[in-house]
Structure 1
Amino acid sequence: MAVVLPGSTAEVAAVVQYAHAQGIAMVPQGGHTGLCGGAVPDASGRQIILNLRRMRDILSIDTLEGTVTVQAGCRLADLQQAVEAKGWYFPLSLASAGECQIGGNLATNAGGHNVLRYGNVRELCRGLEVVLADGRVWSDLSGLPKNNSGYDLKQLFIGSEGTLGVITTAVLRLVRQPRQQLVALVPVPDIATALRLFGAINDEMGEALTAFELMSDFSMMLVARHFPEVVASLPLNSAWSVLVELSRPGTAEDLLSSFSGALDRSIGRTEMNDAVVARDLVQGSRLWAIRNAIPDAQRREGPSIKHDISLPRGQIAGFISELYPLLQDRCSGVRPCVFGHLGDGNLHFNLSAPSAGEAQDFVLQRERLERLVHDRVVAHGGSFSAEHGIGQLKRNEMARYKDEVTLDLMQRIKYALDPDNVMNPGKVLPDR
């Protein structure tokens, strides 16, 4: 029906009050980087898009408390640049940082590369201001690290994808900029070896381990095919590769020595000789470019079916070895493109079409291939949604895999805060 661009919390509240009184549904919208349709209106033509891009101010940076207060429409990259100028670091690390907005990051409980060390954005949030479905404003922007005075209401809105209210302002936790950083690309023959390396580095270096990413040979091959300049002169002859990032105070030599010792103890000298180690930010960014290019490379390759899953780390090897032959039985020639955050158990288990000529038949099998993958994920104690959220695309999965008590509690919370179902209806929760 309309796109509304408010410039303040008061203007958001005025719009919501009016829409609520008229029974008009609202769809909060940020930087258009979501992957599950959570910020897309329905086809009725009777919903209002509430876009917060004008609300992009950084209101304050508190260097004593180590926090930043920011409006929801601020882009993640702009926030990071502003706090880095003050010697601080906001550790949410997303490939979409130049487009995504803080409100959307909070609404989807964004994850990214650094969850292993710093947690999801939920763990980085100290306070929120939210416009409720009836237009009232709930505000807790004190930013206190300890505040045990009743329910922690902000946690209801983080990850709710705009179905309970509109986040307008946030207080976020900052950390000091790392003084030294080491990034390494390590080829490994299998996931068991990758996990041994993870355990050795974790034992040796603890919180210095910032990121631990896994990439299959097929995902690396796609990058080499579509972005050959990104992987020039790098080893690509291993079944899997691990991208490791370490950061902490101290010298670069300290980091390298600890990393080399962990590598030697976990996978041996032969593999260690094949590792590519970057000791400065420029070299490190080149290695990260490989990992970040995988989604674009897969898009260029042709149709794909994407799965954002999480598993206990100890279940990942068994899950993959069990699922690969099942996929071939259902769709001969299907090409799994597996990459993601092995350190926290979150994999992007994507499937590429067998070939361009079979793309149409492959797309028609989406539903049954998704069911196969998600059934095996749940059987191994995992989740069908790790960091991309539910939106519209995974509502049926909620109905299939969530138990009745969980769904009932979620529905009760939704009804308590939005009894008229005007706040982003048709998202997250299945129809009951």
Structure 2
Amino acid sequence: INTEERTVSIRDDHKRTTLQFDVNKHCINYPARLINHIRIPPKRTVSVPVSVALSSAQVLFRPSFKLHQRSPILMLNSSLNIHRHTSFISLHNPTNEVRLLPKGIILGTTTIPTLSFKKDPDIDYSFAQKNICNLIQPITNSAQKDKVRRVLDKHVKLFDTTKPTIVINVKPHAIKTLDYPPPSSKPYYSTPAKQDAMYKITQELLQFELIRPSYSPYAAPALLVAKHDGTWRMVVDYKKLNNITIKDNHPLPNMEQTIQVLGNGYQLFSKFDMKSGFWQIPIEEEDRHKTAFITPEGLYEWNVLAQGLKNSPPSFQRVMTDILSPCRQFALVYIDDIVVYSRSFEEHLEHIHQVLSILSQHNFQLNPSKCSIFRQQIDYLSHTIS
């Protein structure tokens, strides 16, 4: 590839073919040349072979205007299939005389669109590709690794965790409450250091539109819980709201039955974990005011499903069960954990593609560091599956 001269050269059997390219063009044109001398009888239509500088392609053909000015031969705009640099064009002689066309004459122009590599500006491709590389690293067979990468690359947005996403085309979480006055509480006492930490957390949640300022009569107190790495996690004490919330009886999968299914002679397993799973599910607009929580800095309410709400697990399970129903023969889901199981590599590749396609369609986001793919043994629901 010569970027200065904008050419691409291909060497084959001691021959070199050089093509000019322009990155700003939306299509590329190639002449269609007559391969042999042609004799066309009067009032006849013949199909003639032409050569094009493309090995294989579907192209559009446009007759040469110069040839039309010199010869009465008629040709139509058409679509051509090129195979091994060759295709066929119909020529019609409308006259009462034999018409001759010499070998090598240009009958017209073929046009092929250039490849488009448009990128979604909302995706951090380098970050997502790094996650994909880490995920496929344990696969030792290079040919299989390439096939897996190609499938994952089709769903690259799933692996970009630089900012939260909210799923689409799913039923939002509803909060049905008994006929009681809205419960409210004062903010919990916290030290100045914790207040600063709480403020930073709420500002980040506001930035990603996971929460919004609230004017609700509801008010559940928020507090900070220390994580293992020494940072803080905000939780909301929804005890009073949960006491007046009508229970959602959607079932969670039976863990023992799930383990039994996975033990039926399957050879390959993949596990997918949702990134901050609950936060990806939207809440019904009319119920968002019920999630209001209070901090020393202000009152906020959730746009997405919050942890600590009474029906968060069954609501999330319902969404996942519904969207993955087409994959129920080879995929199991327990809240925000998905396991895919298959009997062969090619089968597993197709199963993975189907699951990831559904997650992509609904704008889900994975947690790559907690995912495992194409393994003969995985840990799932506190069990080792092999």
Task: Verify same fold: TM over 0.5.
Answer: no
Q: Which has the larger share of strand? A: 2
- TM-score normalised over the length of structure 2: 0.23
Answer with 1 or 2: which has the greater Rg. 2
- TM-score normalised over the length of structure 1: 0.21
Q: Which has the larger share of helix? A: 1
